[in-house]
Structure 1
């Protein structure tokens, strides 16, 4: 076991330990990308459970104004926020990419990989008890793997999702094969693999033949928790549904919800979209269904305005993928819906984990596209916020505590 290092103390049944880890990620605040939030939550909350965190990440611009003053962040290089891809078709490149040359070229020339290894030579390897590498992108895994072997330090691999993202668009089967071989080698070396959903956990366990722990994304503990006044809601002369986000071409949730609106004039739907073109689609569907007067449209709301719109509603609509591949996806919006204390009506695939969590917490109903929309009535009429189970398990801080416990169980 390595010597104890500087860090906050955590008490366990086995012994008292101190830890510091190096977190390697392609995205971190101020970059406003979903992956940044998961990594920031680890860096923020893990110290409360005895694990100090240093971060190794490219310096990128962004709009997230989060406090980094208590986090040691190392920037080996500066990169753009997003990758730029050629829009003009190049026949030679189209042919070459099917040979696997493109994937190998990216592997050999990755600026983040080579700059990070050079930068890491200046770091004190004895400072770290473990390395946590976040996937995607695969560059982070490669850096973590190289440093783990160089420093003889345990490697932890985090899967935010299962997307195959390797730094370029329009990947081919040869790209996938190259990355899968690389990914498999690294994960079989890892001391611990974690994923953000149970669906992803099960797939990774089958893929690598080793235990994978589920560490959810969750909601921020500092955000206020709402509580719906159920009696007041039932006495109102209108029940308001609210959906903010993508319309998936305008067909969902509209074609699914409009028949419900048509049953009773007291049902109203608030829809917030980003583009005017989506708003026009909503208008056409509403007119065709005869519920135009029951639909309120909002375009280009800020995040704060969308939050207020949802808080002022009775039922929050949650969409997931309609096919079975959605069972390893939990939309970030789901956790925010839990905080608002409103009845949640989800739409996706019958085997989605989101539906299982909703049932577990008694927080709403989850229907597939083939279910009868009228099932909503029985669930909503008998629901009360006081009957909902405690949601504390799904806070980001609670999940960081679970991750810390997994780390403490490793042999150093």
Structure 2
């Protein structure tokens, strides 16, 4: 049995997508002769919590915990609302940022490099170095963001000589929000230097998208593999479809995820088509920025809007399967072409058609096309968006609206665990 030490910041009861990737790998590792030991913070400040995920931790898994110093706790003294908003990643556009938000972003970007969890690095290295000297571990795994977790892996590899496997759920210096952190040239250079050092020191890099793989291969000679996010076969009772023509978005809608042409198309359809107006509902599940809410209301959609807020993951799955159409919205920037959110794969197996919006050349567009799970549009394609929504509405009226996906089995969490297990064993053999 191969033993691996997984170092992660996000772990149940943390909610949101960051926790699910390695929770699911841990869930299936034993099927592939891998015994995981998980190292997490003892007292983290999670922006979202989902206690339902606690039940998914496999029985008997060893979970190590050590305290973490969280600067966000002290920042809340000055502005609890702004601190919580930033920690969720909901950052308003520059013109709408308050003085306090601008100040907090500047401090976050330039005083906490690579991120606000940097103070967990040194105590974790001390604790884990002792643990590793007393226990036989075959490979160290780190998963970020927060990318400070990778610094723990780098130090442990250099001190112990163990193989180190670095997993990037998101890119580092090319992530979409980096330009909002008000980084000085010196701070940006420090990020670039840290990123290169991590990529060059690790024995294997895993990323979730093909664009990030290409970017990293231009920086390092370390092998870089793609293991996407995926879906689990949830045990959910049969779900009844909504009687309304619901378009649902699951997950956070950040300020940059604001496709005004989508809102305009929906409003125009309510004015041009009485049946559409009577049946339509826009359902947003998760945190939504004020910018996005303002755009939706200014577009004239207030009467059709239902805000659900954050819900437990199992409830999100139920909403996906009962909705008529699912929305996938990414920031319209070349920096987000690499983002393949985990919910995409859950969307695929919900059997509901997807309308996705994002930048040209997005990795998401290829996956949606290859699996026949919906349609992808760029933000400016007003007429195409409107036409597709109307086409789905006509199918809804006829009772024939559904998606007919193909080739999604390889994205099941168990099959993805098989893939990453194979990579881990290759890394160990190379030793």
Whether these two folds match at TM > 0.5 is: yes
Task: Determine the structure 2 residue equivalent to 1:242.
Answer: 248
Instruction: Determine the structure 1 residue equivalent to 2:358.
Output: 348
Extract unaligned runs of 5+ from structure 2. 80-98
Match of 1:30 in 2: 13
Counterpart-to-counterpart distance in 2, 1:252 and 1:180 = 35
Cα 1:386/1:31, change in 2 over 3 Å: closer
Indicate which of 290, 309, 314 corresponds to 2:324. Answer: 314
Output the TM-score relative to the length of structure 2. Answer: 0.74
Question: Number of paired residues?
Answer: 378
SS of aligned partner of 1:222: coil
State the SS of the aligned residue for 1:194.
strand
- Higher CA-based Rg: 1
Moved more, 73-82 or 330-339: 73-82
State the match for 2:124 in structure 1: 116
Aligned with residue 65 of structure 2, among 64, 67, 75: 75
Alignment of 1:7-406 (within 5 A): 7=1, 19-60=2-43, 63-65=49-51, 66-67=54-55, 68=57, 69-80=59-70, 82=72, 84-85=74-75, 102=111, 110-125=118-133, 127-164=136-173, 170-224=182-236, 239-244=245-250, 246=253, 248=255, 251=260, 253-267=262-276, 268-273=279-284, 282-286=296-300, 295-300=304-309, 302-303=311-312, 308-371=318-381, 372-376=384-388, 380=392, 387-406=404-423
CA distance in 1, matches of 2:72, 2:188: 21
Instruction: Confirm or deny: 8 A CA contact 2:203 2:223 kept in the other structure.
Output: no
* Alignment CA distance shift 1:83-1:40 (3 Å): farther
What does residue 95 of structure 2 align with?
Answer: none
* TM-score (structure 1 length as normaliser): 0.77
Structure 1 distance, partners of 2:209, 2:319, is 28
CA drift of 1:398 comes to 1.7
- 1:15 corresponds in structure 2 to none
Deviations 1:179-222 (A, max 9, x none): 32122123212110001112211111112244311111212233
Deviations 1:63-122 (A, max 9, x none): 3331344321111324449565485989xx99x989x8x468999x95312211221243
The offset of 1:307, in angstroms, is: 5.0
Once superposed, what is the RMSD of the aligned Cα atoms? 4.1
**Distance in 2 between residues matched to 1:301 and 1:143, nearest whole Å:** 31
CA distance in 2, matches of 1:296, 1:103: 38
Cα pair 1:103 1:178 within 8 Å, conserved: no
